[in-house]
A and B are shown apart, each in its own frame.
Chain A
Amino acid sequence: MLARIATFAIDGVDPRQVSVEVHIRAGLPAFAIVGLADTAVRESRDRIHSAILNSKFDFPSRRITANLAPAFLRKVGPGFDAALALAVLAASGQIPRDALAAYAVFGELSLGGELRDSPGALVVAEGARRAGLTRLIVPRERAREAALVEGLEVAGVSTLRAAAEVVRGGRAPELPEAPPQEARQPAAEPDLADVRGHALPMLALQIAAAGGHNLLLEGPPGTGKTMLARRLPSILPRMTRAEAIEVTRIHSVAGLHADGLIGRRPFRAPHHTISPSGLVGGGALPRPGEATLAHRGVLFLDELSEFQRSTLDALRQPLEDGSVAIVRGQRALVFPTKFMLIAATNPCPCGFAGIEDRCNCGEADIRRHRRKLSGPLLDRMDLLVDVGRPSERELTSGPITSSELARGRVADARERQRARLDGTGASCNGEMDARTVRRLVELDVPAEQALAHAYSVGALSARGRHRVLRVARTIADLEGHGRVSHHDLLTALGLRQQPDLASAA
């Protein structure tokens, strides 16, 4: 007898429908799986055998052939166990065959017949809905995640037996309760209200958040660059539901997240020894890299000058395009990479340049250090701010602002940008190209004069001019100015980043 059931393979961060067919016929007892299955899938024969027996079902002592279609798609991992087991049960008449047609099943089996937690349920659920299926069986741990997809009946089960019950028409178990709030958010998100001093970096963070500008923090070790960077997600606008689902899907596939919807923007801080494929994704079976895990959130590169040049160069395409294409064999996978980049670096190899007497670096060392920093990546950084050591008085004074207040200002500024940038392809000032800048950034007369002055005294390069205009526009948006004022422009000049001038003479 033949039974058929749908399941999904996870290809990058996208679902691919796989049809599991099981045929049982007379012959010597055997169990063969065909259809470009990898080792973990072929091993599932033994798991399924034990799981079926331990669930008090019969394992048919006949010739069983399982096919995973389409045959050209490489199937990886143990996520097909449950679908194969249910198809075997249906083909041997232990559960009704017709009922299976409406179902997609996803999950790994243990020898004892339990459905184990398997990453990527959200992607599977999206695939099931797209394929027009109405019911989905997933491991219980993943039920709330899968239920984020609307229009799908999700049954979260913990055993193969329970899954069989559901298919037989038994009532699907209730979705597990959402865990209490505190358990889900173990530590409060870092807040700007915890910061003392650092008036300029805090302002720079707000401008960066408001305009989607990439930011470079420079300063000696121990002054709080990392501490400041960690607070950037807290002032970004809250994620929309669609964004949250994108983020949850990626983190679910990567096995970093198990329950429900991710509410916070991700913050990823890879160590500087990371490889190019670790950063942008890759591997023989392409997995999302840090840039993709930071999608809709913040990617923080600490000790920027310590990263390998090739690693940083690999970030160019993701930064430009908001996505990265990984080509393996005949397939190209696209991972989304819309993140804000924030980087930190020491001013010189020892880190203490500019601080009385503590720096032992020669001028040549410092030049070498700067040269390592320059390059295409720095070209994408609109803002640069010096993070110094706060004075005693600043450390003992009160907070300057809180994340809540800052987020409000940021959200207002973003709203103003959205109206202006409608139809340009840019969603925030940081994404404006040179043409859009020329067309949409209007300066009042004193600002125009100050810009011309800055350019004529050599404080700005042609490219730096565009960067300053983008930032000035964001500052004006934060202030609610229709045109960029003199003050807005000067503030932008005070935060400008100028890789081309830094390396000259």
Chain B
Amino acid sequence: MSGACDDCLRRTWLLGRMAGHLDHARARIAAVLELDDRELIAALGGELGDDLLRERDSVDVGLQRDRCGQAGLELVCRCDPAYPVRLRDLAAPPRALHVAGGLDRFLALVAEEPVAIVGARAASPYGIGVARSLGAALGRADVTVLSGMAHGIDAAAHVGALDAEAPTIAVLPGPADRPYPASRRALHRRLVATGATVSELPPGTMVRRWMFPARNRIIAALTAMTVVVEAGERSGSLVTAGFAQRLGRVIGAVPGQVTRPQAAGSNALLAGGATVVRGPQDVLDALFGAGVRSAAGDDRPELTEELALLLAGLADGHGTSTALVQAGYEPDEGLAALASLELAGYVRRDGGGRYAVIP
């Protein structure tokens, strides 16, 4: 079932070819992408219009397929019955999707009830922590997490799902075979190995600004619910939420501190009636109806009273030494206790030697 028809391939080729032209229209990108090829060339091609048209008609689709194959990408176009059904809700669904990590796996995952977790790049440690644990809990509950692999909330959501050994999908602004941002190489590799990365653009396309809102519409459309963890007032994740709203998807937001500008946008969503997301259970209730599915129970071992006390101290945000002293531990006993908490999956030791509580 993999592959794409010639006409759809021409369209993706044209998007890549006109990437620069499209950037001029990024304010109205959703509407522009609804235009068919000829209209698009007429609207944005300028003097090059006739040449572009000729190029488009003579493009070597075989070569396009080969390039995708070489980049390890599989294709599915909207003429294919296997094309993700949710995407068809868009006025102009992407003509073809490029998938790295296995088309069958991707299609199976999005056929269920995937959830988007999106938010700010410059997120607070609180936001990062919530996104990560939400990603992990949803992963454990067999809900696929979709996001955009950006720094901050997006990456944390993916990492959380990967922590829970659940597949997770990233919709990338640029080609699916290339990590964007480039420094997320390791995360990209893990996503491709166990989940998938997706894009509507052909390999070799340079990332441009219009691709971010265009990508956001795909994230919103592919998922049953969009959860905004932390977003400033002008955050791109509000664009995602806007698309989701127009498509009639459920929108959720995680409450943030009212004094924190990074949370102003997500708090505004809540004020506008978005579902309050306090944890994975709120997401599951919104997706499947209240109480129908419950977040997977903790499979972590029971804690002794002393360890529970220590965990509570760490959760209060004390430094490691202080938390140990307050829980009545001698230092070496305490280190061993912290290591047992970590091995039992209750805390995580970060690069700086501090312990963060895993909810």
Give the CA-CA distance A400 to B343 in the complex, in Å: 28
Give the CA-CA distance A491 to B342 in the complex, in Å: 12
Render B84-120 as a binary contact track against A, CB cut-off 8 A, 1 for contact: 0000000000000000000000000000000000000
**Interface presence of A459 (CB below 8 A):** yes
Render B316-359 as a binary contact track against A, CB cut-off 8 A, 1 for contact: 01111110111000111011111110110100011111110000
A487 B122 Cβ-Cβ under 8 A: no
User: From B163, which residue of chain A is reached at the shortest CB distance?
Assistant: A458
B325 A394 Cβ-Cβ under 8 A: yes
Name the A residues within 8 Å of B187 (CB-CB).
Answer: 505
Out of A202, A367, A459, A487, name the residue touching B349 (CB < 8 Å). A459
A362 B125 Cβ-Cβ under 8 A: no
Give the CA-CA distance A498 to B343 in the complex, in Å: 16
Given contact pairs A218-B353, A356-B317, A370-B351, A487 touches B336 in the complex (Cβ within 8 A): yes
**Interface presence of B63 (CB below 8 A):** no
Out of B340, B343, B353, name the residue touching A385 (CB < 8 Å). B353
A197 B343 Cβ-Cβ under 8 A: no
Q: Interface extent on A, as a size class?
A: 35 or more
B151 A364 Cβ-Cβ under 8 A: yes
**Interface presence of B159 (CB below 8 A):** yes
Interface hit among A146-154, A308-316, A411-419, A449-457: A449-457
- Name the distance in Å between B121's Cβ and chain A's nearest Cβ: 7
Name the B residues within 8 Å of A457 (CB-CB).
Answer: 343, 345
Render B177-190 as a binary contact track against A, CB cut-off 8 A, 1 for contact: 00000011011001
Given contact pairs A203-B331, A487-B336, A491-B332, A394 touches B190 in the complex (Cβ within 8 A): no
Given contact pairs A198-B321, A386-B319, A391-B322, A359 touches B125 in the complex (Cβ within 8 A): yes
**Interface presence of B123 (CB below 8 A):** yes
Name the A residues within 8 Å of B353 (CB-CB).
Answer: 216, 218, 384-386, 495, 497
Out of A202, A354, A501, name the residue touching B125 (CB < 8 Å). A354
Out of A347, A388, A489, name the residue touching B320 (CB < 8 Å). A388
Query: From residue 463 to 505 of chain A, which have CB atoms closer than 8 A to chain B?
Result: 475, 487, 489-491, 493-498, 501-505
**Interface presence of A353 (CB below 8 A):** yes
A363 B332 Cβ-Cβ under 8 A: no
**Interface presence of B253 (CB below 8 A):** no
B322 A491 Cβ-Cβ under 8 A: no
**Interface presence of B225 (CB below 8 A):** no
Given contact pairs A199-B331, A384-B353, A391-B325, A505 touches B190 in the complex (Cβ within 8 A): yes
Name the A residues within 8 Å of B190 (CB-CB).
Answer: 505
Name the A residues within 8 Å of B173 (CB-CB).
Answer: none
A386 B354 Cβ-Cβ under 8 A: yes
B320 A200 Cβ-Cβ under 8 A: yes
Name the A residues within 8 Å of B339 (CB-CB).
Answer: 450, 454, 489-491, 493-494
**Interface presence of A201 (CB below 8 A):** yes
B352 A388 Cβ-Cβ under 8 A: no
Name the A residues within 8 Å of B352 (CB-CB).
Answer: 218-219, 347, 353-354, 384, 386
**Interface presence of A389 (CB below 8 A):** yes
Query: How many A-B contacts at CB < 8 Å in the complex?
Result: 137
Summarize B's interface: helix, strand, loop or mixed: helix
- Name the distance in Å between A294's Cβ and chain B's nearest Cβ: 24
Render A75-96 as a binary contact track against B, CB cut-off 8 A, 1 for contact: 0000000000000000000000
Give the CA-CA distance A362 to B324 in the complex, in Å: 29
**Interface presence of B16 (CB below 8 A):** no
A354 B354 Cβ-Cβ under 8 A: yes
A363 B321 Cβ-Cβ under 8 A: no
Render A224-240 as a binary contact track against B, CB cut-off 8 A, 1 for contact: 00000000000000000
Give the CA-CA distance A387 to B319 in the complex, in Å: 8
Name the B residues within 8 Å of A370 (CB-CB).
Answer: 351
Name the B residues within 8 Å of A501 (CB-CB).
Answer: 351
- Name the distance in Å between B137's Cβ and chain A's nearest Cβ: 18
- Name the distance in Å between B220's Cβ and chain A's nearest Cβ: 23
- Name the distance in Å between A440's Cβ and chain B's nearest Cβ: 22
User: From B260, which residue of chain A is reached at the shortest CB distance?
Assistant: A357
Out of A200, A454, A497, name the residue touching B324 (CB < 8 Å). A200
- Name the distance in Å between A446's Cβ and chain B's nearest Cβ: 11
Name the B residues within 8 Å of A388 (CB-CB).
Answer: 318-322, 354
- Name the distance in Å between B154's Cβ and chain A's nearest Cβ: 11
Out of A389, A490, A497, name the residue touching B319 (CB < 8 Å). A389
Name the B residues within 8 Å of A132 (CB-CB).
Answer: none
**Interface presence of B162 (CB below 8 A):** yes
Give the CA-CA distance A505 to B189 in the complex, in Å: 10
**Interface presence of B152 (CB below 8 A):** yes
A459 B125 Cβ-Cβ under 8 A: no
**Interface presence of B14 (CB below 8 A):** no
Most buried by A among B121, B325, B330: B325
Name the B residues within 8 Å of A408 (CB-CB).
Answer: none
Name the B residues within 8 Å of A494 (CB-CB).
Answer: 334-336, 338-339, 342, 349
Give the CA-CA distance A201 to B326 in the complex, in Å: 16
**Interface presence of A390 (CB below 8 A):** yes
Name the B residues within 8 Å of A391 (CB-CB).
Answer: 318, 322, 325-326
**Interface presence of B146 (CB below 8 A):** no
Name the A residues within 8 Å of B326 (CB-CB).
Answer: 391
Give the CA-CA distance A493 to B332 in the complex, in Å: 11
Give the CA-CA distance A367 to B352 in the complex, in Å: 12
User: From B122, which residue of chain A is reached at the shortest CB distance?
Assistant: A362
User: From A365, which residue of chain B is reached at the shortest CB distance?
Assistant: B122
Out of A203, A495, A502, name the residue touching B351 (CB < 8 Å). A502
- Name the distance in Å between A421's Cβ and chain B's nearest Cβ: 23
User: From A356, which residue of chain B is reached at the shortest CB distance?
Assistant: B317
**Interface presence of B128 (CB below 8 A):** yes
Name the A residues within 8 Å of B332 (CB-CB).
Answer: 203, 475, 487, 491
- Name the distance in Å between A229's Cβ and chain B's nearest Cβ: 15
Name the A residues within 8 Å of B334 (CB-CB).
Answer: 199-200, 494
- Name the distance in Å between B153's Cβ and chain A's nearest Cβ: 9
- Name the distance in Å between B329's Cβ and chain A's nearest Cβ: 8
Name the A residues within 8 Å of B121 (CB-CB).
Answer: 362-364
Most buried by A among B317, B332, B340, B352: B352
A491 B321 Cβ-Cβ under 8 A: no
Could you give 10 example pairs across A and B, Cβ below 8 Å?
A: A216-B353, A362-B151, A362-B152, A364-B121, A386-B319, A388-B322, A459-B342, A489-B339, A490-B339, A491-B336
For the complex of A and B, list the 8 residue pairs with the smallest distance between their C-beta atoms, beginning with the closest: A388-B319, A494-B335, A502-B351, A490-B336, A386-B353, A490-B339, A493-B339, A362-B122
Known: A386-B319, A390-B319. 17 other contacts (CB 8 A): A199-B325, A216-B353, A219-B352, A347-B354, A356-B317, A370-B351, A388-B320, A390-B322, A391-B318, A391-B325, A450-B339, A457-B343, A487-B336, A491-B332, A491-B335, A502-B351, A505-B187
